[in-house]
Each structure stands twice: as structure tokens, then as C-alpha cells.
Structure 1
Amino acid sequence: MGRHKLTWHDLARRQAGVVARRQLNRLGYSWDFAEAQLVAQRWQSITPTVLCTTTGALTRRQLMWAGVLHAGHGSAVGQLSALECHGLERWPRDEITILLAKSHNLDPLPGVRFVETRRPISRFTSHDPLPVWQVEPAALLFAAYEPVTRTAYGLLNAVVQQRLTTPADLERWIGRMRPLRRAKPFRRLLAEMAGGVQSVAELDVSRMCRVYGLPLPRRQTKRRDSSGRLRYTDAEWRLPNGRVLILEVDGAFHMEVEQWTDDIERERGLVAAGVVLVRCTASELRDNPGQVAHDLRRIGVESSA
């Protein structure tokens, strides 16, 4: 039997319903064929050269396809949008990022941000079939140019915590992406993460201890509360009187109602089990670590040898 000829239906299924006019032409469909679909309102026009074979609001997947087809050959979904495709959670961004080579002159596309780069886009791209940057270069490029250093560190920590990559793989990619902004601090961060640091807050606690002469705490310790429920603590020290002091670091997500309620229950259960529990905010730990260290000493944490 002869080889099956690819139809526009096949192309649309492969690309979430989004097609480029140039692709239709290569398959043998004329300009008039596409115009007839638009006039009949079976399709919709996204840009003069990119069409959607469904009507209604575009899904995020469709908008990603529209972005790479509008940008043309060699473009790819990048940065946080690429990480979203790989399964990153709790880092929402409404705008989709499309990477493309320098010296492009594109008309804007609502909901899409086009970022020019001199890096070899195709070398870092995987196709599923949507062209998407791999986890490591997507995370590192975003982190390198993110204005807020703490956010950059948080993103690298998140991709490791969510098991999208490992500190060792990110370290190797730093070498592959030379030159890379913040390469040295990224390597220090990855070394900390490889040593067991689970969050940026834990990294801040470790830095506070080194700067202000406190012993490094035990981290992510399993502990049963008064009801027998298993809890993981952020940082804890053994006090001279034999009791355990736990420091819990509250980030912005702790202000959400459900998380706040869970925190109250968690604190009550741990205190009832006999520990001393104190809390600080992530911003305190970042902006005023000396005061946090001073308060820990007053409660009973001894200076390191």
C-alpha cells in the first residue's frame, strides 16, 4: 500500500489545533482552502500566518503553538513556560515566553513574550512535538536574568524539590551554558542543595548560623506531634536543658487561609509534644538575621565552638 498522505487533520491533532499557512501550503492546501474555513467560521485567525482549527478562547497549549509558529523555525517555548510544560507547579505566569534568534522583527502576539537570544536554541530543545527547552537550560536562563536574586534561587530550588532535575545536572549545564550570569553563586547554592538543603529558607538559616556563630541546626527532622501525626521541622537545636527548640520559617504562602490554619494546628501539636517552637518570617531571616540569631541565643541556643 502507498504511504499515508498527511492531511490538515493530522497536522492539527499534532499541534493542538494550531497550524501555519506555510504548513498547509506544503501539504498541498491552497490559500483559498484556508480562507473558506475562516469565512465559514469553522477556523479562526490568530495572526495573518497562523490559524486555529477550533473556535473560542485558546488554551495555553494552543497559545504556545501559536507563539512558536508565529516566531518561525528555530524558536522554542522557554524559561518558566518551558518548565510549566515539564510539570513545574506553583510558579504561575500568565504570559508565555517564546525564545527566538536575534534580529527577528515580529508583530506582537497578545499573551506571548518573545525573547531574543544568541544561544543555540535548537541544541537545548526537546520536541514532544512542541519545541520546548529542556529543564536545566530553561531554569538557568530564567534564574540568570531574574532581577530578584532570591527568586532566582527559589526557582532552582523548586525544580530540584519537584524532581524535575538534580543539583548535579544543573551543575553540568552551568558549564554547557558558559558564559552564564551568577554562575559562581549558583554553584554555591547547588552545593548546599546537594548537601541536604531543601529550601531557600533553609539556606538563609545556614547563612545566619555561620555569620552569627550559631551551630548549624538539624533540618527536615521527622517528629511526631501530640496526636501521633508525622511532621517535618524546618530547623531544630538541642538546648542545654535537654529540650528541643524548633524554628519554623514562614514564607508568603503561609498567609493563605488553609496553610495558616494548618500551621496553627501543627504548632499546637508540636508544642503539646514537649518542644519549644518559635517562628520567624522569611523576610526577617533575609533582612534582619542578626535579630533572629539574638533571640535564639536568649531562648537558649548556645554559640558554636
Structure 2
Amino acid sequence: MRGALDGDVLAVLARQDNVIGNWQVDERTRRLLQRTCARGEGRRLTWSVYLLSPAPPTPAQLVWAAYLHCGPASMIAGRSALVLAGWGDAHRRPIHALVPGGRQPTGTPAWLRVHRSQSIPEQSLGSPPRVPPHLAAVQAAAWAASDREAMFVLTSSMQQGIITPIRFQREVASTSRVRRRTLMLDTAGEYLSGTQSTAEFDFGRLCRRYGIPAPIRQTRRRDASGRWRYTDAEFVLPDGRTLIVEIDGLHHLDPANWLADIRRQNDLMVTTNGLVLRVATWTLKHEPAEFMPFLGRLLTGNA
């Protein structure tokens, strides 16, 4: 089969991981590709995209197929574009592609999700073409199945240096009618600050809302190495032991901070002979009903 293809077509296949689209070849080559698939020497990934191999497509080949199916004006978008930009997650189905608003590809397979937009970026990156990382992060967060998935995408992208909080905030501000705008801005702002200055205030407000006694704030305690530390919030349990609540901002997801948090928690449990609970600021802001009733049951001895 390859011997019947001209050099230009072979060069395209080499660049595109053995995947090629109808719009890239002439009618003669199209018929050759169709006969190759009919003999089992290749596969049709969509009605208009061919894989010149009998093996199942790899994730990278499916990404090429997504772009080729949607046409030369399209771009890989969302999570799929973040992976192409170096984000440390695997390609997952569906593959996301962005097309101009007036275009709707036909015969789209289930593994491909097509998004239409009137504002396509003027410049694409990479091969296959993809949207820039900060726009990809906005799209991935907006298209995520849940708030938690959106937060994971954003925080991990910032941790890995795929996006920066400030440029991401600008991208969100320049994008109209985007889903989860507040969550995106809050997540980037908290990650940027690296602090949780308002977290203890928010926690106190939640304690009042859920009928939980006011916490003892900023208790000074000496850790196992002799250094003084301050706890975020403390309560006295019915059996007289101390319950310490540590409020973790998103910067605690950094590996170095995470390891320090483990040591700190172990120190507190040993030096106080009490209990230590950890809660994320994101949980307090977006899903307090997951944590606060549990805390209330602990304090009343009904956990």
C-alpha cells in the first residue's frame, strides 16, 4: 500500500502518527486508503479519517483523528490541549476539539466532543494545533463534570507550571459567559496568595451557622523539635481531649508543603494526645456540608 502513495502523502503520515484525513488527499489517494481499510491493513477512525495501521489507535493517534475529523480550522481544546502542553495527566475520552461557530462536523464519533465558538484563537500552538494553555485551562474547568474535577485541573496545572495564576485570571476575565467563573477566580487567587488569611474567619462563620461552639484560635504549641507552632482552631472533646482543626489552602498540595503537613500532624497528635482534623479551604467555601456536620458530631460525642 505505501508503495502506491506519493512522497507528499507519506510525509504527512510521518508527521501525523500514521493518521490522515480526507481533506488532505486527492480522490485517487482516498480510494487507496479505503481499499487498504477494507483489506484490514488500516482502520477508519471516523468516516473521513484513516489510520494506516491494523492495530488499535493510540491516544495520540485519536487526538490527531479528532483534529482531522473537525477540519483545518479546528483546534484541540480543554483537557486534551492541556495534555499536549505537558500537563501530567493522560488523554481521556472524549477528546475535546474547538471549531468555528458556523461549522458542525458530521458523523462525529462518541470519543470526540466538538465545541463551537464564535471566537477562535488567532494563533494555535503545536501539532496537532491546540489552543493556548491558559484558554485550555478555562475550557477544561468549564467543561469538567464537577467542581472538584475543575479544581483539580486548575491546581495541578498551576503546580506543574503549565499555567500561571495571574495569566489565568486575565484569561477568565477576558472570556464571556464562562461556566464556573467564580470558582476559577477563587482557585487562582488562593493559589496565588499561598495563604489562608480569610480561612479562619470563614471557618468561624461556618461554626456559627452549624451551631458549633466558637473555636479557640491560634493556640501556641511546641512541636516535637522544640519549635513554637500555632494551630488554626481547637476544641475540647467530651472526653477532655483536644481536637485540632488544621485548615489547608491550595498551596498545601505542593509536595514540599504536603510532607511538612504530615510531620506537623504527627507532632500535634503526639504532643497533645488529641485528634487532628484537616480540611481544605476549598471544602469550607464550596462544600461545607461535607465537613461541618461531621465536626459537630465529633464535638457532641455522636460521631
Structure 1 regions of 5+ residues with no counterpart?
227-232, 250-261, 299-305
Displacement of 1:117: 2.4
The 1:293/1:123 distance shift into structure 2, 3 A limit, reads farther
Q: Kindly tell me: are residues 96 and 30 of structure 1, through their superposed partners in 2, closer, same or farther at Cα, counting changes over 3 Å?
A: closer
Distance in 1 (CA, whole Å) between partners of 2:181 and 2:48 is 40
Structure 1 runs of 4+ aligned residues shifted over 4 Å read 202-206, 209-218, 223-226, 243-246, 265-269, 280-285, 288-298
Cα deviation 1:273-303 (Å, max 9, x = unaligned): 53555125767862155456768999xxxxx
C-alpha contact 2:245 2:276 (8 A) present in aligned 1: yes
The CA distance in 1 between the partners of 2:193 and 2:166, in whole Å, is 11
Q: Counterparts of 1:50 and 1:185 in 2: how far apart (Å)?
A: 38
| Equivalent residue number for residue 138 of structure 2 | 140
Displacement after TM superposition at 1:268 (Å): 8.7
Summarize deviations over 1:188-230 as a string: whole Å, max 9, x none. Answer: 33222211059xxx99777324654768879xxxx9989xxxx
SS at 1:133 equivalent: coil
Q: Which residue of 2 aligns with 1:81?
A: 80
Q: Which residue of 2 aligns with 1:230?
A: none
Task: Name the counterpart of 1:274.
Answer: 271
1:208 match: 203
Q: Which residue of 1 aligns with 2:173?
A: 175
Q: How many residues are aligned here?
A: 261
SS at match of 1:188: helix
Matches within 5 A, 1:1-305: 7-25=8-26, 30-89=29-88, 93-103=92-102, 104-120=104-120, 122-123=121-122, 125-126=124-125, 128-146=126-144, 148-197=146-195, 207-209=202-204, 211-212=206-207, 236-237=231-232, 245=244, 247=246, 269-270=266-267, 274=271, 276-279=274-277, 286-287=288-289, 289-291=291-293
State the shift of 1:125 in Å.
2.9
- Contact 1:76-1:131 at 8 Å conserved across structures: yes
Q: Report the CA distance between 1:90 and its aligned residue.
A: 5.3
Cα deviation, residue 92, structure 1:
6.7
Give the deviation of 1:107 after TM superposition.
0.6
Measured in 1, the distance between the counterparts of 2:22 and 2:79 equals: 28
Name the structure 2 match of 1:301: none
**Partner amino acid for 1:16?**
D
Aligned-partner residue type, residue 96 of structure 1: I
Q: Is the 8 A contact 1:280 1:292 kept in 2?
A: no
| Cα distance change, pair 178–115 in 1 and its aligned pair in 2 (3 A) | closer
Instruction: Give the corresponding residue for 1:303.
Output: none
TM-score (norm 2): 0.67
**2:20 is paired with a residue of what secondary structure?**
strand
Q: 1:39 to 1:177 in 2, by over 3 A?
A: same
Does structure 1 retain, via aligned residues, the 8 Å contact 2:75–2:124? Answer: yes
Structure 1 vs Structure 2 CA RMSD: 4.4
**8 A Cα contact 2:200 2:232, kept in partner:** no
Instruction: In structure 2, give the amino acid aligned to 1:71.
Output: C
- The alpha-carbon deviation at position 87 of structure 1 amounts to 2.9
